[in-house]
Amino acid sequence: MRLSEILRLVYLNLIQNKFKVILTSIGIVVGSATIMMVIAIGTGGREEVAEQFKNLNAGAIDITYENAASFSGMFVAGDSGGGSSSVTAAFNEMPSGGGGYGGGRGMGGDFGGFSFFGSGQSGADDRINQEDVTLTTDDMEDLQVFVPGVSDVTISYSANASVEGGTMEAASYYTIAGVQSNYAEMSNLELAIGDFLTDEENESKEKVCVLGMTAAKAIFGSAYDAYDSVLYIDDRPYVVTGVLSEMGTVASGISPDTAIFIPYETGIKYITGDSISPTITVIAEDVNLVDQVIANVETVLADSYPNTEFTVSDAGSKMEAASASNETLTLLLIAMAIIVFIVGGIGIMNVLFVSVKEHTNEIGILKAIGCSRRDILLEFLLEASCISLIGAVIGVLLALGITPLVELFSVRVSLSVIGAVLSLLFGVITGSVFGFYPAYKASRLIPVVALNQE
Amino acid sequence: MITMKNINKGYMLGEEKLPILKNIDFHVERGEYVAILGPSGSGKTTLMNIIGCMDVMDSGEYYLDGMAIHDTSEDRLTDVRNNKIGFIFQNYQLIPTYNVMQNIIMPLLMRGMNHKEAEEQCSETIRLLGLDHRIGHRPSELSGGQKQRVSIARALVGKPAILLADEPTGALDQSSGKDVLKLFQELNEMGNTIVMITHDLNVAQSAKRIVRIVDGQLFE
């Protein structure tokens, strides 16, 4: 029989059993929608990671200190990888520790625990007893001078403060970032209007600020209105000397779009006092030197702060960790989609078996009047494929429909033609694979037996 | 046209084989109209299925239009059923979801014709059987006599070597039954070879030759 005629028969069967077709295809609908959403969410996640890190200098290394109260959690973070390493300079002073700087990086980063030297309890006690440390501009200068392979160093901190002014009717809290003049260049920040903070403004502790684009729009309505205006941070007036372009990235733990940047020293004098936890950012001259620079940074800091642990993380590892996390989520969703497809496929197989049973007499008639095994196999297989295709198309449409809902939960969804084609393909393949066996059984029916089936 | 030599057929009943056809010798010439007459359980339907290539014999030789059916594969038998045999069933065996036209053209579609060619080829048969005004109807919308006419049209449309009719009037009222038998006679006069099985002597008498089957054995 011609393929076109078989397709015509399949079409007749499908339109005469619309409800059955819809019910049968539900598994494929869900499976296809899941596959499409998995691909879209996976792609969206990758794009988000890429966007978050697009302005991040690959050679950037952040050094922070967290006090003993929060140490335990930080240690776990450093120990589990992801580019952060917890450094304990105190190793040099432990009873069993050797001399020199190398021990800090080696134990905190590579061996991942204090038990190498003795009991874990002993190490924990040391950590709890360590001094409360605040990184300073002196530390920054030490790193600039003593660590080879460093192209630039800066120090920054962030705090929340009450902001008034512009078109705002009431005070709001904003992230205030105390930074130095080189912060903008090191974090690849671009200015939409005006200039970034200068060394002179920092040294003279001037009350000036640069706004992120989102903050400028929220406070003044636009970047143009914000420029050269005055706003009040903790009731003190600051002149807006510049507004950043929209960045969408996070640098040194600060989201530039929503932050207000002020000179480092100005912030300490008027807003935070000495109660800050600054981050020193070091830029390695060469990305390949990052590990070496980290080791040297840790060595220099261990010399300045014995018995103190710092968190050192580099941009590349942050990206890897974010990507790994995203891939894990994608794998989980793919596993879910596969399960849905298998369940959907079994559903199709069941319905087709019932269909073969229901149509056994008709198959007998067709065989009696000369329909070949191939034609019967093709007819049932194409029926399964068409049901799957219909399900897959509905699934793709469903995915398109639920995308806005998913985005409401702040999940980035990046729909693509490839995703749609793949989900259609997966749907049709699943239906065809699971539909083959019932179709094969139908084609092998003995004419006289099939014909006498009630 | 049909030559059967020493055909035997039985079915397994538990461990034991129940013989249905015993040493059947049967011959039909081209253009004959033969009735196989027998009571229920005599083996006439089994014989019909073997003649129609829908069942296989246990032993013996069967030649249809010169072809050794006993030595033919299932795939080839499909072609034989499509090209050489036209089946007419007691309960019509029409596909309920297809309309009259779709049911009638099925054998032609199986030969590789397209829909349009098949419809053109069967138009004469449809006129002959008086189904012109019913081609768009489903079987459920037809009377028993009309359904049987559709079944006959489907059997005739491929111009088979032989028409096999299994109790063709069994499900019809007397008047419709007479019409069908009259139609068979007309078809036979037009040169068609017909083999009909029936348990009704009156029906069998419409044929030119009657063969009796009793307990799986054939008697002229």
Tens-place pLDDT, residues A44-97: 887 877 766 666 677 788 888 876 444 333 333 333 333 444 443 333 333 333
Residue of A122 and A31 predicted with greater confidence = A31
Nearest-Cα residue of chain B relative to residue A454: B93
A 10 A CB-CB count for A187 gives: 24
Task: Inform me whether the pLDDT recorded for B59 exceeds 90.
Answer: yes
In the CATH hierarchy, which top-level class contains the domain B2-219?
A: alpha beta
Q: What value does the mean pLDDT take over residues A187-198?
A: 89
Express each pLDDT in B108-124 by its tens digit: 999 989 888 899 988 88
In this prediction, residue A432 carries a pLDDT of: 85
Pairing of strands B33-37, B209-214: parallel
Q: What value does the mean pLDDT take over residues B40-62?
A: 91
Task: Inform me whether the pLDDT recorded for A441 exceeds 70.
Answer: yes
d(CA A218, CA A225): 11
User: Nearest by CB to A369, which of B49, B55, B87?
Assistant: B87
Residue B75's SS3 state is helix
Instruction: Give phi and psi for A311, each to the nearest 5.
Output: -100, 120
Q: How many CB pairs under 8 A join A and B?
A: 71
Residue B134's SS3 state is helix
Residue given tokens 């179709």 in the structure block:
A439
User: Nearest by CB to A369, which of B98, B110, B112?
Assistant: B110
Query: Cβ of B54 and A16 within 8 Å?
Result: no
In this prediction, residue A229 carries a pLDDT of: 92
Could you tell me the residue ranges of all domains in chain B?
2-219
- Taking CB atoms and an 8 Å cutoff, what residues of chain A touch B75? 372-373
Task: Inform me whether the pLDDT recorded for A119 exceeds 70.
Answer: no
Task: Inform me whether the pLDDT recorded for B158 exceeds 60.
Answer: yes
Express each pLDDT in A288-306 by its tens digit: 788 888 889 888 888 888 8
Query: Cβ of A372 and B112 within 8 Å?
Result: no
- Taking CB atoms and an 8 Å cutoff, what residues of chain B touch A8? 115
Q: What value does the mean pLDDT take over residues B158-180?
A: 87
Query: Cβ of B114 and A369 within 8 Å?
Result: no
Global model pTM greater than 0.95:
no
Q: A246 falls in which pLDDT band (50, 70, 90)?
A: confident
% of residues, chain A, pLDDT over 90: 20
Express each pLDDT in B136-149 by its tens digit: 999 999 998 899 88
In this prediction, residue A253 carries a pLDDT of: 65
Residue B22's SS3 state is strand
Q: What value does the mean pLDDT take over residues A256-265?
A: 92
- Shortest Cα distance, chain A CAs vs residue B102, angstroms: 9
Q: Which two tokens stand for residue B9?
A: 């057929």
In this prediction, residue A105 carries a pLDDT of: 36
Pairing of strands A236-244, A230-233: antiparallel
Q: Which of residues 148-207 of B touch A (CB under 8 A)?
A: 154, 158
Q: Is A145 on the interface with B (CB under 8 A)?
A: no
Task: Inform me whether the pLDDT recorded for A405 exceeds 60.
Answer: yes
In this prediction, residue B74 carries a pLDDT of: 82
- Shortest Cα distance, chain A CAs vs residue B54, angstroms: 6
Q: Is B99 on the interface with A (CB under 8 A)?
A: no
d(CA A161, CA A108): 35
d(CA A309, CA A145): 21
